[in-house]
Amino acid sequence: MIKLQDIEKVYQSDNGTIHALRGVNLSVKQGEIFGIIGTSGAGKSTLVRCINMLESPTKGIVTVDGQELTSLNEQELREQRKKIGMIFQHFNLLSSRTVYQNIAFPLELAKRSKEEIDKEVLHLLELVGLSDKKDQYPAQLSGGQKQRVGIARALANHPKVLLCDEATSALDPQTTKSILELLKDINRKFQLTIVLITHEMQVIKEICNQVAVIEGGKIIEQGKVIDIFTQPQSNTTKEFISSIINHNLPDFFKEITLASEPSADSNLILRLSFIGHSTEEPVISSMIRRFAIDASILYGNIDHIQTIPFGTLIVELSGEQASLQQALSYLKTRELGIEVIGYVARNARAVG
């Protein structure tokens, strides 16, 4: 549905040249909720604004719904933009218009009849749960209600894509949840493709199928949310994830020396991640039964990414070195993530 090829964006400002995007390639499938996460200044807003050409890329090709936007003139672009709705962090509502009139605005611009507009607006008000607020002005609404108006307005022209520019960043956690639920609902009902940018991993975890991490104008990591959460590669991604999932080692590891290679009398410390059905498999107990080893659990956590459960265990295995290596080989045949954290001297910690 959306394809970005080698997108570059250079701003010329009084302070010199700013290279905001440096060769971005992205592909978003129809019906996906695609999240782009990055810290302040990473290039998120520039990137999302390149998708509907509010910013025109200095270089590269933007294609939406099979149409190359980067080759269109202004008038053709205006037509194509009707396929792309957008919502904003600060809602961007017209303060002198009522809720009804705000939602009607894009339909008036599209020269739709009064009857059509009325039917459409009433339907959208119901969809976003604001039928009773139609004659109020934005100043009389809460942040969450304002964003609901923003969503209804963005959907007025039946877009195929909805772009969300930090749409929940100005909202409290409870309101954020309800807006994300509404976006999920709309995605399901209309098979609408959603691209959202955020600096909060919680938002990605709650609704996205796919995620891309942007840093210094480049995509440094991308993939399925479940894969990125369970096997983050870059330090930036690890940091984002650690804000909601503790990937750090427990404190007592700071006091012991970990070796990267085994010695005759060392214990093996592993981090195991279980995803989906593998959380139900009794891997640890069958490993202990098969090999002459002991296992003690140093840390355990279970979480969900939307409906998929995933768990993390840090375990210390003790026994003969040959048995430990056999157990490790056995674990590698199971459906789980394995990270060898290191080896500790057998007496460094008492294994129970």
Ligand X SMILES: Nc1ncnc2c1ncn2[C@@H]1O[C@H](COP(=O)(O)OP(=O)(O)OP(=O)(O)O)[C@@H](O)[C@H]1O
User: Which residues form the interface with ligand X (CB under 6 A)?
Assistant: 11, 13, 18, 20, 38, 40-46, 199
CB of 218 to ligand X, least distance (A): 12
CB nearer to ligand X: give 212 or 314: 212
CB of 238 to ligand X, least distance (A): 19
The token duo for 258 is 């970990």
SS3 call for 324: helix
Element holding 106 (H helix, E strand): helix 99-109
CB of 241 to ligand X, least distance (A): 18
CB of 35 to ligand X, least distance (A): 13
Q: Is there a contact between 4 and 53 (Cβ–Cβ < 8 Å)?
A: no
CB nearer to ligand X: give 243 or 306: 243
CB of 116 to ligand X, least distance (A): 36
CB nearer to ligand X: give 217 or 342: 217
Q: Is there a contact between 50 and 217 (Cβ–Cβ < 8 Å)?
A: no
CB nearer to ligand X: give 216 or 309: 216
Radius of gyration in angstroms for the set of CA atoms belonging to the chain, rounded to a whole number: 25
- Strands (E) in the chain, as ranges, are 2-13, 16-28, 33-37, 59-64, 67-68, 84-88, 161-165, 193-198, 210-215, 218-224, 266-275, 293-305, 308-319, 336-345
295-311: b or e for each residue (b if 16 or more CB lie within 10 Å)? beebeeeeeebeeeebb
> What is the C-alpha to C-alpha distance for residues 231 and 266, in angstroms, rounded to an integer?
26
CB nearer to ligand X: give 43 or 319: 43
Element holding 4 (H helix, E strand): strand 2-13
CB nearer to ligand X: give 43 or 144: 43
SS3 call for 234: coil
CB nearer to ligand X: give 54 or 226: 54
> What is the C-alpha to C-alpha distance for residues 288 and 285, in angstroms, rounded to an integer?
5
CB of 18 to ligand X, least distance (A): 5
CB of 19 to ligand X, least distance (A): 8
CB nearer to ligand X: give 93 or 214: 214
> What is the C-alpha to C-alpha distance for residues 66 and 51, in angstroms, rounded to an integer?
13
> What is the C-alpha to C-alpha distance for residues 25 and 327, in angstroms, rounded to an integer?
41
Residue that the structure tokens 């195929």 belong to: 160
In terms of DSSP bridges, do strands 59-64 and 67-68 run parallel, antiparallel, or are they unpaired? antiparallel
